[in-house]
Amino acid sequence: MSQTGAHPGRGLAGRWLSGAQPCLLLPIVPLSWLVWLLLLASLLPSAWLASPLPREEEIVFPEKLNGSVLPGSGAPARLLCRLQAFGETLLLELEQDSGVQVEGLTVQYLGQAPELLGGAEPGTYLTGTINGDPESVASLHWDGGALLGVLQYRGAELHLQPLEGGTPNSAGGPGAHILRRKSPASGQGPMCNVKPPPGSPSPRPRRAKRFASLSRFVETLVVADDKMAAFHGAGLKRYLLTVMAAAAKAFKHPSIRNPVSLVVTRLVILGSGEEGPQVGPSAAQTLRSFCAWQRGLNTPEDSDPDHFDTAILFTRQDLCGVSTCDTLGMADVGTVCDPARSCAIVEDDGLQSAFTAAHELGHVFNMLHDNSKPCISLNGPLSTSHHVMAPVMAHVDPEEPWSPCSARFITDFLDNGYGHCLLDKPEAPLHLPVTFPGKDYDADRQCQLTFGPDSRHCPQLPPPCAALWCSGHLNGHAMCQTKHSPWADGTPCGPAQACMGGRCLHMDQLQDFNTPQAGGWGPWGPWGDCSRTCGGGVQFSSRDCTRPVPRNGGKYCEGRRTRFCSCNTEDCPTGSALTFREEQCAAYNHRTDLFKSFPGPMDWVPRYTGVAPQDQCKLTCQARALGYYYVLEPRVVDGTPCSPDSSSVCVQGRCIHAGCDRIIGSKKKFDKCMVCGGDGSGCSKQSGSFKKFRYGYNSVVSYPRRGHPHHSFFFFFVAAAGKPWPRGGTTWRLKLPDVS
């Protein structure tokens, strides 16, 4: 795969694929033109981040009591480890976990596992017990003397990880770890890693409330093909989890205006010889093959631990569109709860692939590119291109990764019930890496992940953190190249300094970016304008999650964010023969620019027959002369009746119950006299019959004259039992005498 400045011919514009279902392509920015430099032999020195210690934690020094724990030593990997913490000695008796299960995540190898993923792997997953207690659980990752994972002991949850700054010159010294203790909430009881017995009812997903902010959990299957395994080798699992952690962080940003949690529940690595998806240069064909293949791995029951809501494939294959190979990813639009089409593919391009994954999953959530026509009007003229859903990959604004258009589209998508499968919380979600990725992948390694194993960071190009410049060669000459992505957060950028959001900050400032802060609702805003001047409109009031704004992955506000009520419910003045929906259709009568194949202006009228109940609030109109019908608007104007025989009205594309008094939520109905809220005493039934009829008017029944000039008459014609209605072009008309 070649993506260097030597190939400036890559296109800049995203394209729609032709076909029944639209797909979106994400191209990359062409590399800056060649900057010829002499490569310096010295690179920036490594540095580590340091953070102040919170409460309920101690610095500990795990002591290994036995020999090697690396696989392939002739016996099952086993580790005895001792540490002193909280006034107690903890003896960890650990064995290698052959299933590689880490807090709900199962890594599956399909086909022949690559050699680099075997015994040479520097990291090993271990499970076991603590102090011989059979009810205790230890689940840890061992990597060169460092332990990372969770201990469950005597009702408490202990998180163990290497001390950030655990170098000989740090406060902790070599081998130092942090052990954090988290006691269970009152009444929670001890943790238990067992499934409920068969037949026990699982909690039912909550019914989605209209216009409410509800927690959504995107259970994700992550798949890596054999090219990924060959390139990343033993570090593939950790790399994938690091990328997905960054993507999940993007979905936790408050600019998306919804509480969305990206949860990795399964990780599948494809080996050679496996009958997996057909991965090739064609992005469209690869997506179709992967979508069909991943469905066979899913289980239909949402409560099943093996169920996933969406799937994403990472590959090192250079993906191509119709005419160029500038494609970094592809996904269908608005398919998150469609098992056959909730899937995406991503061309691995280094740690910035996290934003490609977030971009493609944004499409799955019905988001459009920020340069699309609907987004241009929503984002406004001052909007920048530095958002996740920009059509061309560039630096993403850390202060506002999602544009107003993206937030609007995902909100409408979820409010209309298309995210119903995301309401169930996973039983055992994977805890993705919480450390900054730059701590594990320095600038040199980031260059290698992006440009290949021979690339190194070009340290002589200021400023640091803003854009990652990496070494390369073209025609035998050394050069530096960039893809305009910033250094990964946490990358050392100077003495006691590290990158954050494209800026080089002192380590003391980093704690502000690592402490989650939950959001809180602000006050309700004023009521907006009424959608109709008469006949029953709708007005809205909303509130925002701004007191405070959630930060650093803190929980977004839950609850109702929009409220609405009826307004201007009085009758419209007589004079217009058209209903409100008819007026909306008639507005297109002279829009010949939209229907150039039609012979001329059309008379557009509402279409009711054949329209599904969930589509009642779309403006579906029919050309009276031709019979063709189209959805002219995705929504009718708020306050439009859902159907001719219903008092319910459309609100933001959803049919909401209203009474006959045109008030939303009202229980008033028409009585038999068609009086709203009446008791049926305002009318009487008169009946008559006749056996012989003649051509012209026939006298059937006489009604008494009433004093009030305005009366309603409702007529029902019923044929005698067993008698058919007269045929042969008979037309029935009613003639009422003047009763004024």
Over residues 670-698, the mean pLDDT reads 79
Q: Of the spans 190-194, 312-316, 587-591, 595-599, which averages the highest pLDDT?
A: 312-316
Distance CA 64, CA 70 (A): 13
Whether the predicted pLDDT of 709 surpasses 60 = no
Would you state the pLDDT for residue 317? 94
Would you state the pLDDT for residue 623? 92
Write down the catalytic residue from 135, 360, 558, 582: 360
**Choice among 130-139, 510-519, 724-733 with the minimum mean pLDDT:** 724-733
Whether the predicted pLDDT of 472 surpasses 50 = yes
Whether the predicted pLDDT of 548 surpasses 60 = yes
Q: What is the pLDDT of residues 522-545, one digit of tens each?
A: 999 999 999 999 999 999 999 999
**Choice among 35-39, 156-160, 248-252, 735-739 with the minimum mean pLDDT:** 35-39
Whether the predicted pLDDT of 584 surpasses 50 = yes
**Binding site for Zn(2+), residues?**
192, 359, 363, 369
Would you state the pLDDT for residue 329? 94
Would you state the pLDDT for residue 731? 54
The one-letter amino acid code at 219 reads E
Over residues 323-340, the mean pLDDT reads 92
Would you state the pLDDT for residue 206? 41
Q: SS3 for 451?
A: helix
Query: What does the block give as tokens for 475?
Result: 């025609």
Whether the predicted pLDDT of 10 surpasses 90 = no
Would you state the pLDDT for residue 234? 82
Cα 348 versus chain centre, distance? 20
Distance CA 411, CA 404 (A): 10
Distance CA 424, CA 305 (A): 11
Q: What is the pLDDT of residues 241-255, one digit of tens each?
A: 999 999 999 999 999
3-state secondary structure 259-323: CEEEEEEEEEEECECCCCCCCCCEHHHHHHHHHHHHHCCCCCCCCCCCCCCEEEEEECCCCECCC
Residue 191 binned pLDDT confidence (cut-offs 50, 70, 90): very low
Residue 223 binned pLDDT confidence (cut-offs 50, 70, 90): very high
Over residues 184-198, the mean pLDDT reads 33
Distance CA 278, CA 287 (A): 9
Over residues 447-463, the mean pLDDT reads 90
| Residues whose CB falls within 8 Å of the CB of residue 419, separated by 6 or more in sequence, listed in order | 208, 216, 336, 337, 365, 413
Would you state the pLDDT for residue 596? 77
Whether the predicted pLDDT of 722 surpasses 70 = no
**Choice among 37-41, 430-434, 590-594, 719-723 with the minimum mean pLDDT:** 37-41
C-beta of residue 328 within 8 angstroms of C-beta of residue 356: yes
Q: What is the pLDDT of residues 65-111, one digit of tens each?
A: 875 444 444 444 577 889 898 888 999 888 764 333 334 455 777 76
Tallying the residues shown for the chain, one arrives at 740
Whether the predicted pLDDT of 35 surpasses 70 = no
177/389: higher pLDDT:
389
Would you state the pLDDT for residue 380? 84
Would you state the pLDDT for residue 713? 57
Residue 734 binned pLDDT confidence (cut-offs 50, 70, 90): low
- Which of 42, 32, 43, 46 lies closest to 479 in space, CA to CA? 32
Residue 427 binned pLDDT confidence (cut-offs 50, 70, 90): confident
3-state secondary structure 459-493: CCCCCCCCCCEEEEEECCEEEEEECCCCCCCCCEE
C-beta of residue 580 within 8 angstroms of C-beta of residue 597: no
Distance CA 256, CA 359 (A): 12
Q: SS3 for 421?
A: helix
Distance CA 649, CA 667 (A): 14
Distance CA 562, CA 543 (A): 7
218/183: higher pLDDT:
218
Over residues 464-481, the mean pLDDT reads 91
Would you state the pLDDT for residue 29? 37
Distance CA 15, CA 105 (A): 36
Distance CA 220, CA 357 (A): 12
Q: Which residue has the tokens 């944004």?
A: 362
Whether the predicted pLDDT of 27 surpasses 60 = no
Residue 565 binned pLDDT confidence (cut-offs 50, 70, 90): very high
Whether the predicted pLDDT of 269 surpasses 70 = yes
Task: Calculate what percentage of the chain has a pLDDT beyond 70.
Answer: 72
Distance CA 543, CA 525 (A): 6
- Which of 31, 14, 12, 11 lies closest to 370 in space, CA to CA? 14
Residue 347 designated active-site: no
C-beta of residue 440 within 8 angstroms of C-beta of residue 491: no
Whether the predicted pLDDT of 631 surpasses 90 = yes
201/564: higher pLDDT:
564
**Choice among 26-40, 356-370, 613-627, 681-695 with the minimum mean pLDDT:** 26-40
Q: What is the mean pLDDT of the chain?
A: 78
Would you state the pLDDT for residue 721? 57
Over residues 705-714, the mean pLDDT reads 52
**Choice among 177-181, 318-322, 574-578, 713-717 with the minimum mean pLDDT:** 713-717
For residue 470, how many C-alpha atoms fall within 13 Å in the half-sphere facing its CB? 28
Whether the predicted pLDDT of 168 surpasses 50 = no
User: H or E element: which one contains 447?
Assistant: helix 443-451
Please provide the DSSP assignment of 208-262 as one string.
PPTTEE--EEEEEEEEE-HHHHHHHGGGHHHHHHHHHHHHHHHHTSGGG-S-EEE
Planar angle of CA 669, 675, 680, nearest 5 degrees: 90
How far, in Å, are 98, 108, 561, 676 from residue 75 at the CA level?
Answer: 13, 22, 59, 84
Q: Which residues pair with 311 in a beta bridge?
A: 221, 343
**Binding site, residues?**
192, 219, 302, 309, 359, 363, 369, 421, 424
Q: What is the pLDDT of residues 110-154, one digit of tens each?
A: 765 554 333 333 456 576 788 887 667 776 777 667 787 767 777
Over residues 489-503, the mean pLDDT reads 94
706/286: higher pLDDT:
286
Helix axes 236-251, 353-364, angle to 10 degrees: 50
Phi, psi at 683, each rounded to 5°:
-150, 165
Planar angle of CA 329, 332, 337, nearest 5 degrees: 125
Would you state the pLDDT for residue 429? 61
Distance CA 621, CA 347 (A): 42
Whether the predicted pLDDT of 47 surpasses 70 = no
Peptide bond into 463 cis (omega under 30): yes
Residue 42 binned pLDDT confidence (cut-offs 50, 70, 90): very low
408/736: higher pLDDT:
408
